[in-house]
Chain A
Amino acid sequence: MANKFLFVLTAVLFSITAHAKESAVDNYKTYCVQCHGLKGNGNGVNVRDMSVQPRDHTDAKSMSGRSDEMLFKVIKEGGPSIDKSILMPPWGDTFSDDEIKDLVQHLRQLCKCKFGS
Chain B
Amino acid sequence: MKIKMLLPLVFVAIAAPALADDGMAIIKRDCVTCHNISGPAPQTLKEVWNLKGPNLAYAGNKYREAWLVSWLQKPQRIRPAGEFYGNHIKIGDKHDVVDEATLKDHMVLSKADATAVAHELMELKQHDDLIAQEKLEPGTGSKMMGEMMFDKFLGCMACHRIEPDYGGLSGPEVYTASRRLQPQFIASFIRNPQAWEPKTWMPNKHVSDANLQKLVYYFDALAAGEGNGK
Contacts and interface: CB of A to CB of B under 8 A. Distances in A.
A22 B44 contact: yes
A29 B86 contact: yes
Contacts of A45: 81, 85, 89, 95-98, 168-170
B96 A37 contact: yes
A44 B206 contact: no
Interface stretch (A65-73, A83-91, A108-116): A83-91
A31 interface: yes
Contacts of A38: 89-91, 96
Contacts of A78: 203, 205
Nearest to A91: B203
A27 interface: yes
Given A27-B45, A30-B45, A85 B155 contact: yes
A5 to B, nearest CB: 24
Interface in B47-79: 48-49
Contact residues on A (Cβ < 8 Å of other chain), bracket: 35 or more
Contacts of B201: 30-31, 34
A46 interface: yes
A23 B49 CA distance: 14
A29 to B, nearest CB: 6
A43 B204 contact: no
Contact of B203 (A44, A49, A94): A94
A39 B155 contact: no
Nearest to B81: A45
Contact of A48 (B95, B153, B192): B95
Nearest to A23: B45
A34 B157 contact: no
B155 A87 contact: yes
Contacts of A17: 43-44
Interface in B161-210: 166-170, 192-194, 198-199, 201, 203-206
Given A45-B81, A50-B158, A34 B170 contact: yes
A94 B85 contact: no
Given A87-B155, A89-B203, A44 B44 contact: no
A93 B203 contact: yes
Contacts of B90: 38
B158 A35 contact: yes
Given A17-B43, A35-B168, A45-B168, 20 more contacts: A20-B43, A22-B44, A22-B45, A30-B45, A30-B48, A33-B89, A34-B85, A34-B170, A43-B95, A43-B96, A45-B85, A46-B170, A50-B158, A85-B155, A86-B155, A87-B155, A87-B158, A89-B155, A91-B203, A93-B203
Interface of B: 43-45, 48-49, 81, 85-86, 89-91, 94-98, 152-155, 157-159, 166-170, 192-194, 198-199, 201, 203-206
Interface of A: 17-18, 20, 22, 26-27, 29-31, 33-35, 37-39, 43-50, 78-79, 85-94
11 contacts: A18-B43, A20-B43, A22-B45, A34-B170, A43-B95, A45-B96, A45-B98, A86-B154, A89-B203, A93-B193, A93-B194
